[in-house]
Structure formats: C-alpha cells, structure tokens
Amino acid sequence: CVNDFRTNLTMDSIYPISTSGELFPWTELRLPPSVHPVHYNISLHPNLALMTFQGCVSILVQVLHETKNIVLHSSDMNISKVTFEGKEVHVLEYKPWQQIAIKFPEDLKKGQYVLNINYTAKLSNSYDGFYNSSYVDTNGTKRVLAATQFEPLAARKAFPCFDEPAFKSTFTIKMTRERKYISLSNMPKVKTTDLKNGLQEDEFEKSVKMSNYLVAFIVAEFIGVSNNVSKTMVSVYAIPDKKDQVQYALDTACKLLEFYNTFFENDYPLSKLDLVAIPDFLAGAMENWGLITFRETTLLVGNNSSSIDKQLVTSVIAHELAHQWFGNLVTMRWWNDLWLNEGFATYMQYMSIETVFPDLNIDTEFLNVRFKALTKDALNSSHPVSTVVSTPEQVEEMFDSVSYEKGASILLMLNATLTDGEFRKGVIEYLQKYNLSNTESEDLWNSLSQVRPFLSEMNLRCLKQNLSVSEMMNTWTVHKGFPLVTVKRNGTQVTLTQEHFLLNAENSTDDSSLWHIPLTYVNDSCSFLSSCKQVFHLKDKTATLKLPDQVKWLKFNFKNDGFYIVHYDEEGWKNLIDALKGDVNVLSCKDRAALINNIFTLSSSGKVSFRQVLNLMDYIRNETETAPLTEALFQLGQIYMLLDKRSELNLSYIDDHFGSLMAGQSWDLESSVSKMTLRSALLEMACSLNIRNCSTQAKHLFDQWFTSNKTSLIPSDLMRTVFKVAAQTDEGWGKLLDTYKHSINDQEKRKTLEALASTQDIRKIICLDGSEIQTQEFPLVINAICKNFAGYLYAWDFVKENWDKITQKFPVGSFAIQSILMSATSQFSTKTHLTETQNFFTSPGTKGSQMRIVREAIETIKLNMRWMEKNLNTLQRWL
C-alpha cells in the first residue's frame, strides 16, 4: 500500500495541470516520439481589418507506438472544435510549454489517423508567428499585410502542429483573401476559387517534405518580377512603390541558384523560388523553402546604392539560397546543432560570392567575421558550437555568432585542411545521403570522412597520426572556446603549446580542453603564396617542430584560415615586427590583419603589454591595404569609445598614424569595394574625432546634397558618416528627420535613422517619434545612441525602464534582445555600472535574467574595468 501510494503521489506530482484543471499527460518540453505527422491540410482566412484569422488544420498522423495520448504544439489560439477520425474529442492545454493533448481511453494502435482542429487567433503584433505589418505608401495611405516568421518556435502560433525540426511532413495550404491582395506560399499556386462576399481562395501545390519552421505564407499588395532559371521560376516581390528596386536581387538570385545547382550536383527541387521584401521584418532574412522573406534593406537596391550596399544584399541572398540545401533539404535534428544550418549557410555565402561575384571583395568581410567570432568565443559565457538546448529561451540564444560565424570558420579551416575538391565531395555525399532527412554533427563528419581515400599527399600526415575528420572536428564542436597556440623557439627547435584562451582566465573553470589543430605556418624564405604554407597537426598539449637552420622568423595560422590565435615569445614578436617595418609585403594582408587582431586580443587578456601593441602598430604608417587598416581602426575605435566615456580622449596618436591616409581620401564616387570599405572606415573615425577637417568636408557635402534637392549625390558608402556630422546641428538634424520621413530608399533611410540617433542632444533623441520608426529598427537605434558620450547612459536607463515591453516585442534570448543588451552595456567600465547591471538582472521578476547574454554583458563590463585599470596610464602617455 505504501508503495502504491507513493507511486500515485509521484505520478500526480510530476504531471502538470492543464488550463481546465485536469492533469496534462506529458511532462517534457520535447514532444513524445510515438506519433509523427505525415501531412497537413491547412486552410486560413486572415481578416486584415480586424487583425484576426480563422484556421482549420487536418493532420494525417502516424502512430508508431501504442499510446493513449497525442501531444502537439499550439500557442495563443482559441480552439473551437477538435475531431479525431470524425469524432469530436476533448483537448487539454498546457500553456507554459505551448502544448495541447488529446487523451484516449484505450491505446491507439499503430497506423494512420486524421486529426482535425478548428481555431481562431489574433494576427501577432510581434515579429513571429502569423503577424501583421503595415507601411505608408507614397500617397500617404496606410497599407496592411500579413506575413509569417516561424523559426524557431512559432509555427505553433499559426496552426497546431508538431513544431520540432525532426517532425518533417508535407503540407497543402489554402488561403482566403480579399481580391486586392495576393497570397504567396512555399509552393506554386494551383488554382484560385471565387467565394461569396468578394473573397477568393488560393490553393497551393502539395509541398515537399519539410520541417514546420520552413512553412510560410503572405497576404499583401505586392508585385513581382520573374525569370526562369534551370527549370525554376525565380521571382522577387516588393511593395508597388519599390518595384524599380528589385532587378539586382533577381539577377543575383538567378546567378547564385545556377552556381549552387552545379556546386552541390543536386538541383534545387522546387519549380519556383520567391524572394519577398517585407516592409517590417525583424530578421535579416528567413530561408522558408521556396518563399524567402527579407528586410527591404537586405533585398532592394536603388539607383544610388553603392557596391557596398550590393555586397550586403548579395551576401544575404547567397546565405538564404544556401539554406535551400543546408537547412531545408537536410535539416538539423534539434536546435543544439543549429550550426549545421547556419554555419554551413554562412560559409557557403562567402565561398559562392568569391566565385560568382569576385569584384565584391567578400574575402575581407569573411576575415572580419572570423575575428568577430573569436571575440565572442573568448568569453567564459560562450558555449560550444553544439550544445544542450532544453528551453525556448535557450533555442533563441543559439542564433548567435558561435552558430553562424564560428560554424563557418571551422568549416573554412576543415576545407583548408582537406582542399576544396575533397571538401566538396564530402558535402555532396552528405546532401545525397540525408536528402529530406534530419542530421546531427557526426553525420556530417562521417560524410566528409568518405573522402579519406582521396587525401592529398600533404595530408597523409593526418592518417599517420590516426587523425580522422570526425576526431579532429569533434574537438571544435564539443569544446567551447578556441585554443591559444604559444610559439617558443630555441635555435632550430620550436616548442608549440596549446591552451584554452580566455580573455578573463582568472574565472576559468576548464583548462583541460585540447583541440586537434591543423597548424599552418610560413617563414621568411616563402611567406606570401599558398604554396608556401606548411602544416603541422597539434593534438597534444605540447609538441616540437624542427626548422631549417636559415629560418629567421615564423608566422603561424596562414591567412587566418584556422580558428585559433598565436602568441610568440619575445624574439618571435620582435622578428615579425621588424620584418613588417622593413617591408609590409613580407606577409599577406590577411596575415598582417591577423597579427593586429591577435596582439590586441592578447593585450586584452594581459598576456602582452599595451606597449607591445603600440610597437607593432608603428608599422601601420606604411600600410595601404584594407584588411589590416580596417582591423587596426576597429581595435582602436573600441578603445576610443571606452576613453570617450571617461573623457580621456587624446587624438594625437590617430592623427600621427592615420592622418595622412584620412586626408588623402576622395569624397567622390568610387567603384572599388575595397577602396570604399577603407575610406568609409577612415573617414568615419576622422569625422567622429574631428581630425583633418573631416567634419567640415562632410558638412559641405551634406549642404550641397540638401540644397540641390538631393540631386548632388553623396557616395552611398559615405552617407552614414556625412549624415552623422549633419545630425550634430539643429538644422541638420531637422533636415535628416524630414529625409527619413519621406525617403523610399531603404539603405538611405536606415543610415538616416542611425545618424538621427547619434546626436549628442538627448532632447532630440527623446523627441524621435516612435510612430515614425519601425520597431524592427529599435536595436539599431539603441546601438547608435550608445556609441556617443551623451547617449549611452540614457539608452541604458531606457532599456531598464522599458524591459518588460522590449521582451514582449522581441522573444527572450533572441538576437534582437542580445543586440539591445550588449549595445546598452558594452561601454561600461566602472564598478558603479557593474553593480547596477547585476542588480537589475537579479531583481525579482526581471525577464530573461538567466540568459547567456546577461552573463556576457557582466563579463564584458568586468573586462573593460580590468583593461582600463591596467592600461589607462600607458594610454594617456601614448595616445
């Protein structure tokens, strides 16, 4: 009796209580594996006047194991009727997990059944689920539309479903709409039926087998242009006022689609591919299969758009098209392996553009991306590429630079180890083997391991050391962080030591991680060409390398293709610095940029003095290439922002090292992406610090532009800098506000908004009308405000006071929340601000207090405090 009682007590206590007061028959966030969906018939009728929609979903399910329950997802719906095999059944709901359940008195036998659910819901006013959006056309008329954003966990807000990536199924969608609208979905439209009351119903083809988060539909007044490529109709849609801004995207998508079809040896499987510019859209874009959605700024290209603007649009299109294979055709099994989707799409975006659009200089951008990933991954608060995910907030948090940029970086490193041909063979094998299926990281490594018989002679060393692809790459996905390789030389013998690199090693809880590092290096006899590269596989804590007698210096991590940083002994650094001072071209521009990045990073951790940093930076007077110069400007810019917050600025160092370059920049139209990238970085810093009359020139250009009714062009790559200067005066700020209200060029509009938010006059920031600014731009506005001395404290106060509203609008843990919080706190460097931040997130009831980004913010403040304490005196003497 005692045992029975305790069993009953345990069972009652572990099952949650549903909204009806009954026990809910499931105890986990993940759905039970006993029932799988096979096909969905979905009928929807959005009412864009009332901002509601009616829905009916019929799900063909497969019972794999006998069960008394069917559990699926549903969120924020009013369910009016549920039938199972034609008989009405009772449904239970457990809102905290967004689950509903149907309980049966007897076990359901194995087989297929039909579940029907009728429901109504509100069109969401956030940016996920089936949400409403609006814009004002050039006639001043407000237009409304409905669109979807389901990744990662919001398909359940549009229709009840098994909302996990592994529950792939097919879908047939019908959409009822008013005649003035069109509707789009993943598949081509089969037919349109006239209904009463002037309504029409569009029916779409049955879809391929796919995950719920890739389903999409739109009801809007859009128009499109199309082109047929490789048996696929490619179309780009936008609002009518911007129909003349879609051609570049169409041409770009067609070229990239042809490239991917050839590269993967696996043609895009659908007969149509739509790219749609949504006026109010939070993400940069979303890879819905056959219906890719974008922000207007990441798809539309106006007449005055620069090559840098085109680089952004091309990058986003390349990323989303790569997803049609990596993510859509083959999908990660669960969100812990999100990097399989995002890391691969990020890697392919850069690789494809380098091949198809070489003039866009994407290689430098990819280098900067790798530096960004290293910075994030050097924190204790970072996480492994593949990590345990068990809550909705943790799922949202996976959309960060570790999944995207680090994922892409380790794939680049693997490709550099295998060579392009071998890597490509493994990728093709992976896509063919797991077509329309779900995978885990190990499946990718196994496919890439199939190329082992074709390893080049250089890589036979891997086999001799019994190093498989899986063994090597697991060390990069299972461990968080990355290695620091320390190089100590004694004559011809080099001792190599690896350790987990952390910016704040004092709080490290793990110093035992070892990576299998494909170390690459060059020396003074041959250092510039890829043929100079030598490889040494470092698996252990320490290893030795034998050199020829005549070697003067070594540079490890050739072109920064490896995801690690390098620290040399005193003589090693001296030899490299002396070599650069003698001739900057002894190393490639990527290697020079990497040295700058590594030494600043090592200084931040306390492993080298800031005096050593400045010693390396002395060579920069002779530098002319974009990659090292922009990296140097970025690193110094981070320091100057901290100093600005302490009112400690001294501009002589920047003027001495970069002044002549700044003064020599043209303010005219420029076609080279590399030159535009460099001058944009140089002039933005020059104008922000008011060096070499930069602000005077920018103001003159702005006045010409405005008085000519904007016919006197400002080069698009300089527009942000020019606008920021103009925004510092009352007259200029007012003109920019008028420009923002009336511009239909989205790149121009965004640069204008950033400038408006950069004013030093807090009263103007307060006066920015929220009704004029789309909520999607809130993270941008906060970031811009925080970069100036007057605004960063105001922004933090605003975020604190409005935190509940912010977390209602943007999902907790999402990239938007991450961006807002880091922007608002990353400039803090005092004990007062540290305590204030800690107290805010430990206050009872503060949403998101357990987010990883909170730990990252606090860690960053501590690092800023330590860095300023150690280096401020040196900075005051040298800068």
DSSP 386: S
**Is the separation of the CB atoms in 119 and 77 below 8 Å?**
yes
Q: Give the span between the Cα atoms of 648 and 775, in whole angstroms.
A: 35
Q: Using alpha carbons, select from 267, 266, 261, 257 the residue that is nearest to residue 292.
A: 257
Q: Give the span between the Cα atoms of 625 and 817, in whole angstroms.
A: 35
Q: Give the span between the Cα atoms of 758 and 772, in whole angstroms.
A: 17
> Residue 728, class by beta-carbon neighbours within 10 Å (0-12 exposed, 13-18 middle, 19+ buried)?
middle
Query: Binding residue per annotation — 537?
Result: no
Tally of CB atoms within 10 A around 27: 12
**Is the separation of the CB atoms in 544 and 574 below 8 Å?**
no
DSSP run (H or E) holding 509: none
Torsion angle of alpha carbons 419, 425, 428, 429, nearest 10°?
-130
Q: Give the span between the Cα atoms of 81 and 102, in whole angstroms.
A: 12
Q: Using alpha carbons, select from 371, 353, 372 the residue that is nearest to residue 363.
A: 353
DSSP run (H or E) holding 370: helix 362-377
Instruction: Describe the strand order of the beta sheet including 223-229 as a list of residue ranges.
Output: 223-229, 232-238, 272-278, 291-295, 285-286
Q: Using alpha carbons, select from 845, 788, 835 the residue that is nearest to residue 649.
A: 788
Tally of CB atoms within 10 A around 418: 23
For the residues of 259-309, what is the DSSP string, one character each? HHHHHHTS---SSEEEEEEESS-SSSEE--TTEEEEEGGGT---TT--HHH
> What's the token pair of residue 593?
């940029």
Query: Binding residue per annotation — 657?
Result: no
Tally of CB atoms within 10 A around 454: 13
Residue 160, preceding bond cis, omega within 30 degrees?
no
- Residue whose token pair is 């920021």: 724
Q: Give the span between the Cα atoms of 387 and 399, in whole angstroms.
A: 12
> What's the token pair of residue 318?
């390349």
Q: Give the span between the Cα atoms of 470 and 468, in whole angstroms.
A: 5
- In sequence order, what E strands does 6-110 have? 35-47, 52-63, 67-73, 78-84, 87-88, 91-94, 99-108
CA angle at 423 for the pair 418 and 429, rounded to the nearest 5°: 140
CA angle at 158 for the pair 157 and 164, rounded to the nearest 5°: 65
> What's the token pair of residue 600?
């600043």
177 phi and psi, to 5 degrees?
Answer: -150, 165
Query: Binding residue per annotation — 323?
Result: yes
- Residue whose token pair is 């295998």: 418
DSSP 208: P
CA angle at 274 for the pair 296 and 330, rounded to the nearest 5°: 110
- Residue whose token pair is 């594996």: 33
> Please, which residues bridge with residue 217 across strands?
185
Q: How far apart are the first and last CA of the chain?
A: 80
> Please, which residues bridge with residue 115 across strands?
59, 84
Residue 801: active-site member: no
Q: Give the contacts of 797 (CB within 8 A, at least 6 positions apart).
A: none
Tally of CB atoms within 10 A around 545: 18
Q: Which listed residue (151, 164, 320, 422) is catalytic? A: 320
129 phi and psi, to 5 degrees?
Answer: 75, -150
Q: Give the span between the Cα atoms of 99 and 31, in whole angstroms.
A: 9
DSSP 713: P
DSSP 714: P
Annotated binding site: 319, 323, 342
Q: Which residues are catalytic?
A: 320
Annotated binding site for Zn(2+): 319, 323, 342
